[in-house]
A and B are shown apart, each in its own frame.
Chain A
Amino acid sequence: MRRRSKLRILVDIIQAVEKGESNVTRIMLEANLPYTRLARYLDELEGKGMLMRVEEGREVKYRLTRKGREFLKEFRRLQAIAEAFGVEV
């Protein structure tokens, strides 16, 4: 089984949040990542302005920012080009 690239992991996380606000557990399941690694990536994405942290009482959720949506759109275009030439991203 081929290892995912870091870019692929970040995209999987963003896609998990794409449909709406998501809590950490749901992101963990959809992105298929252990908590410790996920936490690091979430901090990175929040630092880059692609995700926004939302605290609702004791629960922490993440929401996709406009920058995150733009990044996802660009990645999907990149993926289309990659698929056209058979390159794996």
Chain B
Amino acid sequence: MLHVAFPLLIVELAGLIALLFLCFYLFKAYRITSSRLFAYFFLGFTVLGAGELARSILFLAAALARARLLIEFFLIHVAGGLPQFCETIALILIALGYAREITGKASELALIIPGVGEETLIQILPRNLRRPLFFVASAVNMVLLTFITISSFTVYSHSRKDVALLPAVAFLLMLLSNMILIPSLLMLNELLFLLSKLFHLAGLLSLLALTFKVISVR
């Protein structure tokens, strides 16, 4: 019987390709316009892509190892915190981009991000401390994603263009993913964990749709 990690891995890889294309066009946009906003978004999505790559490898490892519970696999595996860490850094960069765009001053974000930076400890802390750190990282990601989601919907409400709706939907789905992840970690519930990953992957598919929309422009 096919392990549950395999279909998740396939969707994850599709999302990774979407992020690669997005990073390519964001880098191009930065090179042509020299706009710092594009630099923030490019770096953010690049780090997010690095996290997704790590998560893909973990899904593959879980599938090959026929892991009984994915949530346990992610929590006990030493690299399990890496996607969360990358996501936090990526969200900080993306949020800085939106903050700069809206307020003109990226430093204002410092008021809403408490104590970000400890996530590097995830890699070296013993197993029994990792579960609370996943919880903390998810909570931080939720704060960042709330800001990013509101900002992206604000952008959409100004322009009313379909292309602006897609990143807003992507961030909303990622926010929902993190909201479900917290109870799944607290209850160590595999089903909720999988649901959280599905929402996250749906968010990546929304970014894939954005990529197709950009590529198809004539």
Contact = CB atoms under 8 A, between A and B. Distances in A.
Interface of A: 5, 7, 73-74, 76-87, 89
Contacts of A83: 159, 161, 163-164
Task: Give chain A's interface secondary structure class.
Answer: helix
Given A85-B155, A86-B159, A89-B33, A80 B218 contact: no
Given A87-B35, A87-B37, A87-B38, A82 B217 contact: no
B213 interface: yes
B29 interface: yes
A73 B218 contact: yes
Contact of B163 (A73, A74, A84): A84
Interface string B81-101: 000000000000000011001
Contact of A80 (B98, B151, B163): B163
Contacts of A76: 217-218
A85 B218 CA distance: 20
Interface of B: 22, 25-26, 28-29, 32-33, 35, 37-38, 41, 97-98, 101, 151-152, 154-155, 158-159, 161, 163-164, 166-167, 210, 213-215, 217-218
Closest 6 CB pairs of A and B: A86-B155, A80-B214, A76-B217, A84-B163, A77-B217, A78-B29
Contacts of B158: 86
Given A7-B32, A85-B37, A87-B41, 11 more contacts: A77-B25, A78-B33, A81-B25, A83-B159, A83-B161, A83-B164, A84-B163, A85-B41, A85-B97, A86-B98, A86-B159
B140 to A, nearest CB: 22
